[in-house]
Amino acid sequence: MKIIMLGAPGAGKGTQAKMIAEKYSIPHVSTGDIFRANIKDQTELGMEAKKYMDQGLLVPDELTVKILLDRVAKDDCKNGYVLDGFPRTIPQAEVLDEAISGNKDGILTDSSDASKPAGSPDTEVGGGIDFAINVDVKDENIVKRMSGRRACLKCGATYHIEHIPPKKEGICDKCGSELVLRDDDKPETVQKRLNVYHEQTQPLIDYYNKKGILKEVDGSQDMKDVFSAIVAILGE
Ligand code: ADP
Ligand code: AMP
């Protein structure tokens, strides 16, 4: 099963993607997490990405597409994945479609696609993507969520100081590392990220709607209720 999570920054894509990954035993692939891991390790990619992330801007498509395609070509993605934070622009969505439906240049090694009969839904609908789930939350709620978000830069877990607090304040439940307010979650950057979202990412809702794979969920509910709505879409 190949799933894309759509929604504004802070809508709860990552929170739900992790739960989906666990229930359906597929990897959670977050381009934001990949960039943050590279920033932490001070790689060349990380240093380049940081310039954009700190300003609330998108990392250029050339860079982002390459890291995403490298990641989904790995063995653990053979039976599907849940993409969180990718695509964020129409060109990114088009490259993804071409890479996974056309299997051009052998970018993906997943042989199951090639063995499917021509015209089967998995090769024609949404370029191999089964579901694009839009987690819908109003901008006013987003700002509150982002200022309360605390992230573990070691294992990628996220919390919210009010709604989803860690057991011990400031410490990750999963790995015991210190939790931080991400630089790009500071209020001055959040508004800019929302503007970027409306301009460059929101058009993807229409893009996947036209392909017939868009599913909407109300992301302003409690996280368990959001997840139940998603499971109702994906199936038990
Ligand atoms: P995204 O991946 O879309 O940027 P996150 O999953 O990191 O968003 O969620 C943003 C913040 O909101 C986090 O602090 C998270 O713990 C919190 N959050 C996620 N889902 C909900 C929810 N349904 N209700 C309240 N807070 C939530
Ligand atoms: P996220 O963790 O998904 O909120 O992403 C954090 C930041 O990483 C974004 O604000 C962008 O600067 C960058 N980023 C993550 N994914 C992408 C993408 N698909 N395209 C461009 N930039 C991205």
Which atom of ligand 2 approaches the CA of 33 most closely? 2
Ligand 2 centroid distance, CA of 17 (Å):
15
Instruction: Give the Cα separation of 158 and 152 in Å (integer).
Output: 6
Average pLDDT, rounded, for the chain: 89
Ligand 2 centroid distance, CA of 58 (Å):
6
Q: Is the CB of 166 under 6 A from ligand 1?
A: no
Ligand 2 centroid distance, CA of 141 (Å):
20
Measure CA of the first residue to CA of the last residue in the chain; give whole Å: 13
Q: What are phi and psi of 132, to 5 degrees?
A: -115, 110
Residue 35 confidence (pLDDT) above 50: yes
**Across-strand partners of 207?**
none
pLDDT of residue 128: 87
Instruction: Give the Cα separation of 145 and 159 in Å (integer).
Output: 10
Instruction: Give the Cα separation of 232 and 165 in Å (integer).
Output: 26
In tens, the pLDDT along 169-200 reads: 999 999 999 999 998 998 889 999 999 999 99
pLDDT of residue 118: 41
Please, what are the domains in the chain? 2-137+190-234 (3.40.50.300), 138-185 (no CATH)
Under the banding of pLDDT at 50, 70 and 90, the label for residue 212 is very high
Active site residues: 13, 88, 149, 182, 193
pTM of the model: 0.90
Q: Where are the beta strands (DSSP E) in 46-203?
A: 81-84, 131-136, 149-152, 158-160, 179-180
In tens, the pLDDT along 80-118 reads: 999 999 999 999 999 999 998 764 333 344 444 444 444
